[in-house]
Chain A
C-alpha cells in the first residue's frame, strides 16, 4: 500500500509549525499506524532529515502515551482504541492522511506531534487521590463493596489519561478526564471522606490549567479509547453541586486548633 501523509511539523513551542507532505511507500496492511510512521522515520533519517517526533510506549493501548489526531479525529477513525492499535488495513490504498498533535491551550506543543500534558498530572495532584498513609490499612474485606458498585468504579477508573477527550472537544474541556477520577473514587466507600473536597479541588485545578467548560457535545466519549461514558460527567456535576451547596462551614471561619496541621 502507499499513502500521502500530511504531517504537522513544528520545531518547538516558539515555532509556528506547518504541514509537510511525505510519501509512505511499500506499506503492509498488517502494519500498525505507528509502525508505518516508524518506517517513514527510518527513511527520513537515512536521507538526513530529522524524523517526525511522536509519542508511544506500550503499543498495546494502555499507557496513554500515543496521541495523534488522524484526519481530524483523535486516535483515528475506529472507536474504543488508541492510535497504536490502529492498523493500515483500515485505510484505502493511495489515501491522503492528515496527522496532527492534540490541540489545546493547556497542552503546549513540545515538538511536531508531541505535546506537554503535565496539566493532567497537576489536576490529579489537586485531589485525585485518597490520602491514606502506607501501613495500617484495615483488611480489604472489612468494607464490603457490591459487585455493581465495584464495576462502576472500574468503568471510570479505566481512563488512561491520554487526553483525547480534550483534543476532541471544541472547548478543549477536560471534563471527562476529571469526571472519570472523581466518579471512580466517589463510587467507593474509601473515597467518601474527601468526596466534596476532591470534586471542588479537581474542578478548580482544571479551570486554572486553562481547559474549557463542557458543552455537552459528547465528542469526548466518542473518541475515548476506553469508552469512558459521559454519564460520569453527569456524576461529576452532581458531586460538584453537592460539594458547593453542602459545604459545612467556610474554611476561613474555622478556628485553628491544636490538631490543625499545616504544610
Chain B
C-alpha cells in the first residue's frame, strides 16, 4: 500500500524552498564520482537535468529513443517561456506568477510547488542567456517580452516562434559539453521498456537498443524519468509521432502512483482533421485569436461558402457566450465552446469538425500589410497544409489534444512513490493543476531539470545506502525476461490488422468518451470497449520482421499496447472526479448555461492511483490545502 507524503516544508511560503535546500543533505564531491544516475529522456527537463547532474560530478547515463537528444518534442514548442522578471515594470512579481498559475490550474495544484516554480523562473532566463539562447531583444539590447495566454502582464520571453527549439538547443549544448567531458554517457536510439525496482528502490531500467534490438539492463543509484506526456493516447494530437506513455506507465506498474491522469489539455486552435489517413494535428499560433473572430453558420448544415453567408446569418459563438472575454477566452473554455457548437451540427469542413477563424475584419481595420507582417508565417503554413488561401477565405480550426497535466505523482522533492525514482517535466503531475497556462510548460521543464532536481536528488543519495547490484541479480533478469517475452508476443500476432489501426480506434474511443467533455455513461461505455480492443490487438496485430533488428513497427506496437492499458486508468480517473474543473469537464456538473461547476468540498485533492496486479487501480487522495490563496470560481462571462 503506497503512502502519499508530499514532504512540503512547513512555514512561510516565501522561504520554504530556501529553508528546504539548507536542510537537505549533500553528497560530497568525491562521493559523487562513484554515484551513477539514469536520466530517461532528453527534452528540456531531461537534458537540463542530465547536464547539471554531470556538471555536479555524478556519473550520468542519459537515454532517448530519437537518433539525437536534440530531437525531443520540447523542440516544437512555439510561443515562449514565462518568468517573473518584471522587466516591463508592469506589476509582475513572483506572487503574481504564482497566483496566475494556481488560478489558471483551477486550484488543483500544490501551493508550495507552484510558488517555487515562480521563484526559480527568473534564474531560468539568466541561465539560458548564459548558454547563448538567442531570445528576442529590443533595439536597446534588452530582453523583449510579450503577453500570452490571457494574463495581464508581459512576462513571456521568446525566440521568434521557435522558443522551444532554442531552449532545447541550449540544454542540448550543455549536455554535449558534459558528454565531451565524460560526465554523461548518451544512449540515443535506446528505449526504456521497464523499471527495475529492487528492495523497494528504483535501481535501473531495461532498455531495447533500437538499432540492434538488443535488450539490456542499466543499473544506477537513482532513476530520473523525463519522458513527456501522453496526448497521443487520442491518436491525433499536436504531439510528435513518437511521444508515448510507456516509461511512466511501466513505472506505474512497478509501484509509482499516477496522479490526475484525466487532466488533459485540448488546445483550441489547430488545423482540423481532414481525412482518415491523417497522422497528426498541427497547431496554429494561439495569437491569431487576438485579431480573429470565431464563427459558424447559424443554420446547421449550411453548405454555402463562408463569403456567401451574411453577417446576420453567422453565429459569433464565443462573443455571444462570453461577452467579456469574447474570442480571447482561455484554452479550455474556448475548446469546449467549439466542440459544443460543432455537436449542434453547425461545424464546417470535413465531418463538420471545424469553425471559422476569420481575420477579415482585422484586415479591413488594420490593413492587409499589418496582418501579413503579424501572421504571415502562420498563413503560409495553413496554405501549405490545407491548400487554401487564408487571406481570401477564413481559416478553419478545431481543438486538438496538446498537453497532459496529469503524470506520475511526485512529492516536493520530485520523487515518486518508488524511492529513488524521480519524475520531472511533463511526465510528472506537478505544477499545472487541472489546466496549464500558455508558456508555462517550458518554464516547468527547465525549473525541474536545472534548479530543483539536482538539489533534491542529492538528499536522497546522501541518505540512502545503495548496495552494489550485479546484472545477474534475479530481479534484473526477471525484468529483462518480461521485456523479451513481450517483444516476442508483439511479433506473434495473426497480422490481420496494423498497430496504427488499433491506435486510431483507441483514439476515437478516448476522444469521444474522455476528450473535451466527459459523462458517466460515456466513460463506462469506454471502459467496456477498451478491453476487447486490447484483446484483439494482442491477437491480431501485424508486426513484421524480427526483434533483433531496427524495427519501427515493433517500437510503435509496444507503445500502442501501453496506451491500450493506460486508457482505462484515464477513464477511471475521469469517472471518479465528479466535478468540472479546468480541462476536465463533466457534463453532469455544469450550470444551466453550460459553465463548469467545481466541487472544492469533495474534490480539492490530487487523485493518485496505485497499480494492483490483476485488480482495479486503487485511489489515494492527497488533500490540497490552500493556506495562502483562496480558491475562487473562474468566470469568463
Q: Among A55, A149, A150, which residue has its beta carbon within 8 angstroms of that of B135? A: A150
Rounded to whole Å, the gap between the CB of A167 and the closest CB of chain B is 15
- The minimal Cβ–Cβ distance linking B243 to chain A, given in whole angstroms, is 8
Mask, A61-96, CB within 8 Å of B = 1, is: 011110000000000000001000101010000000
Are A147 and B139 in touch, CB under 8 angstroms?
Answer: yes
Query: In the complex, what residues of B have CB within 8 A of residue A125's CB?
Result: 176-177, 179-180
Contacts of A158 in B (CB 8 A): 160, 162, 165
Q: Are B55 and A130 in contact (CB under 8 A)?
A: no
What would 4 more interface pairs be, CB under 8 Å, given A46-B542, A56-B241, A89-B387?
A50-B544, A59-B240, A128-B173, A140-B126
| Listed A/B pairs (6) with beta-carbon separation below 8 Å | A58-B73, A63-B240, A85-B384, A87-B384, A135-B450, A263-B182
Q: Knowing A34-B279, A157-B166 are in contact, say whether A144-B544 is a contact too (CB < 8 A).
A: no
CB of B173 within 8 A of CB of A28, answer no
A64 touches B70 (CB 8 A): yes
Q: In the complex, A141→B125 CA distance in Å?
A: 10
A116 to B127, CA, bound (A): 32
Asked if B137 contacts A157 (CB within 8 A), the reply is: no
Residues 259-297 of chain B: 1 if any A CB is under 8 Å from the residue's CB, otherwise 0?
000000000000000110111101100000000000000
| Residue contact B240 to A147, C-beta cutoff 8 Å | no
- Contacts of B147-174 to chain A: CB distance below 8 A: 159-160, 162, 165-166, 169, 172-174
Q: Which one of B92-100, B519-527, B546-554 is at the A interface?
A: B546-554
Flag if B165 contacts A160 (CB, 8 Å): yes
- Is B407 part of the contact surface with A, judged by Cβ < 8 Å? no
> Chain A, 99-135, contact with B by CB distance < 8 Å: what is the 0/1 string?
0000000000011001011101100111011111111
User: Closest CB of chain A to B344's CB: distance in Å?
Assistant: 26
A173 contacts B by Cβ under 8 Å: no
Quick check: B279 and A184 within 8 Å, CB to CB? no
Residue of B whose beta carbon sits closest to that of A129: B173
Q: Which of A138, A146, A154 contacts B139 (CB 8 A)?
A: A146
Complex CA gap A124/B51 in Å reads: 14
Q: For residue B130, which residues in chain A have a CB less than 8 angstroms away from its CB?
A: 130, 132, 137-138, 190
Residue in contact with A63 in the complex, picked from B76, B142, B174, B282, CB distance below 8 Å: B76
Stretch binding the partner chain, chosen from A37-45, A241-249, A251-259: A37-45
Distance, CA A124 to CA B242, complexed state (A): 24
The answer on a CB contact under 8 Å between A111 and B550 is yes
B131: interface (CB < 8 Å): yes
CB contact under 8 A between A87 and B87, given known A46-B542, A53-B550: no
Distance from B536 Cβ to chain A, minimum over Cβ atoms (Å): 15
Contact B174 A153 (CB under 8 A): no
Is the C-beta of B310 less than 8 angstroms from some C-beta in chain A? no
B136 within 8 A of A: yes
A141→B165 contact, CB < 8 A:
no
B129 touches A190 (CB 8 A): yes
Closest Cβ–Cβ distance, residue B141 to chain A (whole Å): 3
**What's the minimum C-beta distance from B275 to chain A, rounded to whole angstroms?**
6
Instruction: Tell me if A's interface is mostly helix, strand, loop or mixed.
Output: loop
Residue contact B176 to A137, C-beta cutoff 8 Å: no
Give Cα A139 to B85, complex, Å. Answer: 10
A207, CB-defined interface residue at 8 Å: no
Please, how many angstroms separate the alpha-carbon atoms of A56 and B177 in the complex? 27
Q: Does A30 contact B (CB under 8 A)?
A: yes
Instruction: Provide the bound-state CA to CA distance between A38 and B75, in Å.
Output: 23
Distance between A106 CB and nearest chain B CB, rounded to angstroms: 14
Mark out the residues of chain B between 484 and 531 whose CB falls within 8 Å of any chain A CB in the assembled complex. Answer: 495-498, 500-501
Mask, B30-72, CB within 8 Å of A = 1, is: 0000000000000000001001100100000000001111110
C-alpha gap A109/B78 in the complex (Å): 32
- Bound CA span A224–B162, Å: 17
Residues of A within 8 A of B67 (CB): 55, 65, 116-118
- Known A-B contacts A81-B384, A117-B67, A140-B129; A59 and B180 likewise in contact (beta carbons under 8 Å): no
Task: Find out whether the CB atom of B387 lies under 8 angstroms from the CB atom of A134.
Answer: no
User: Which residues from chain B sit less than 8 Å from chain A, CB to CB?
Assistant: 48, 51-52, 55, 66-71, 73, 75-76, 85, 87, 123, 125-132, 134-143, 159-160, 162, 165-166, 169, 172-174, 176-177, 179-182, 186, 188, 211, 240-242, 274-275, 277-280, 282-283, 384-387, 450-451, 454, 495-498, 500-501, 542, 544-545, 549-550, 552-553
Q: Report whether A138 and B70 are in contact in the complex, using a CB–CB cutoff of 8 Å.
A: no
Q: Are the CB atoms of B387 and A30 closer together than 8 Å?
A: yes
| Contact residues in B for A55 (Cβ distance below 8 Å) | 67
Q: Which residues of A contact B275 (CB under 8 A)?
A: 28, 30-31
Inter-subunit contact B544/A45 (CB<8 Å): yes
Given A30-B274, A141-B143, A161-B70, also A134-B52 (CB < 8 A): yes
CB of A188 within 8 Å of the partner chain: yes
Closest B residue, CB atoms, query A191: B132
In the bound complex, how far is the Cα of B211 from the Cα of A160, in angstroms?
Answer: 23
Distance between Cα atoms of A128 and B178 in the complex (Å): 12
**Contact call B66/A57, Cβ cutoff below 8 A:** yes
Taking the nearest CB of chain B, how far is it from the CB of A171, in angstroms? 23
A45 touches B134 (CB 8 A): no
CA distance A160 to B130 in the complex (A): 21
With A32-B279, A129-B174 in contact, is A188–B384 under 8 Å at CB? Answer: no
List, in ascending order, chain A residues with CB within 8 A of B159's CB. Answer: 154, 157
Complex: A160 Cα to B71 Cα, angstroms: 9
In the bound complex, residues from chain B placing their C-beta under 8 Å from that of A28 are 275, 277
B73–A57 touching, CB < 8 Å: yes
Interface centre among A50, A137, A140, A146 (most CB of B within 10 A): A140
Q: How far is the CB of A31 from chain B (nearest CB, A)?
A: 6
Cα distance, A128 to B128, chains bound together (Å): 15
Q: In the complex, how many angstroms separate the beta carbon of B53 from the nearest chain A beta carbon?
A: 9
Measured between beta carbons, the chain B residues less than 8 angstroms from A263 are: 181-182
Shortest Cβ distance from residue A103 to the other chain B in the assembled complex, whole angstroms:
17
Tell me if B173 and A124 are in contact (CB < 8 A). Answer: yes
A58 touches B75 (CB 8 A): yes
**CB of A67 to closest CB in B, whole Å:** 9
Cβ contact within 8 Å between B241 and A110: no
Report yes or no: B498 in contact with A45, Cβ–Cβ below 8 A. Answer: yes
Query: A39-B277, A110-B211, A118-B68 in contact; A146/B123 too (CB < 8 A)?
Result: no
CB-CB under 8 A from B277, the residues of chain A are: 28, 31, 35, 38-39
Map CB proximity to B onto A183-196 as digits: 1 under 8 Å, 0 otherwise: 01101101100000
Complex Cα spacing A39 to B160, Å = 35
Contact of B127 among A45, A137, A184 (CB under 8 A): A137
**Residues of chain A lying within 8 A (CB to CB) of residue B386:** 30
Which residue of chain B has its CB nearest to the CB of A26?
B277
- In the bound complex, residues from chain B placing their C-beta under 8 Å from that of A56 are 241
Note all chain B residues with C-beta closer than 8 A to A49. 544
A20 at the interface (CB under 8 A from B): no
In the complex with contacts A45-B498, A62-B162, A137-B129 CB distance below 8 A: yes
B280 to nearest A CB, angstroms?
5
Q: Are the CB atoms of A140 and B143 closer together than 8 Å?
A: yes
User: Nearest chain-B residue to A117 (Cβ)?
Assistant: B67
- A48 near B: Cβ within 8 Å? yes
B180 cross-chain contacts in A, Cβ below 8 A: 125-126
Pick the contact of B495: A48, A121, A153 (CB < 8 A): A48
Cα distance A35–B277 when bound, in Å? Answer: 7
* A56 to chain B: closest residue by CB: B241
**B66 touching A153, Cβ below 8 Å:** no
Bound together, the chains give a CA A191 to CA B130 distance in angstroms of: 9
- B274: which A residues are within 8 A, CB to CB? 30
The yes or no answer to A145 lying at the interface (CB within 8 A) is yes
Considering only CB atoms, which chain B residue lies closest to A144 in the complex?
A: B141
Report Cα–Cα, A60/B542, bound state, in Å: 28
Residues from chain A with Cβ under 8 Å of B48 in the complex:
134
Whether A190 pairs with B131 at a CB distance below 8 angstroms is yes
| Closest CB in chain B relative to A144 CB, distance in Å | 3
**Nearest Cβ distance between residue A174 and chain B, in whole angstroms?**
14
Given known A144-B141, A147-B139, contact A184–B73 (CB-CB < 8 A): no
Give the nearest-CB partner of B69 in chain A. Answer: A121
CB contacts (< 8 Å) of B172 on chain A: these are 124
* Contact A62-B165, Cβ < 8 Å, known A46-B542, A87-B384, A153-B134: yes
